Structure 1
Amino acid sequence: MTFDWITVAGTIGAVASVASFTPQAWKIIHSRSTEGLSLGMFALTCLAFAAWTSFGLLKGEWALIIPNAICLCFALFILAMIALPERKTKEVAETLDPVA
Structure 2
Amino acid sequence: MALDTSLASWVGGLATICSTASFIPQAWKIIRERRTHDLSVGMYAVTVVGFALWTTYGVALGQWPLIVSNAICLVVSAFILAMTLLPRPKKEQVADALDPTA
Could you report, residue by residue, the CA deviation over 1:64-97 in whole angstroms, capped at 9, with x for unpaired residues? 1000000000011001000101111111101110
Q: Report what 1:11 is aligned to.
A: 13
Task: Please point out which of 36, 48, 51 is paired with 1:49.
Answer: 51
TM-score by length of 2: 0.93
Task: Please point out which of 73, 76, 82 is paired with 2:75.
Answer: 73
Contact 1:49 1:72 (8 Å CA) reproduced: yes
- Name the % identity: 48
Tell me, which stretches of 5 or more residues in structure 2 are unaligned?
A: none
2:28, 2:7 → 1: CA distance? 32
Contact 1:33 1:90 (8 Å CA) reproduced: no
2:15, 2:80 → 1: CA distance? 21
Task: Please point out which of 57, 63, 66 is paired with 2:65.
Answer: 63
TM-score by length of 1: 0.94
CA-CA distance at 1:4 after TM superposition:
0.8
Tell me, which stretches of 5 or more residues in structure 1 are unaligned?
A: none
1:34, 1:52 → 2: CA distance? 26
Task: Please point out which of 84, 88, 99 is paired with 1:97.
Answer: 99
**RMSD, aligned α-carbons:** 1.2
Structure 1 segments of 4 or more deviating over 6 A?
Answer: none
Q: How many residues align?
A: 99
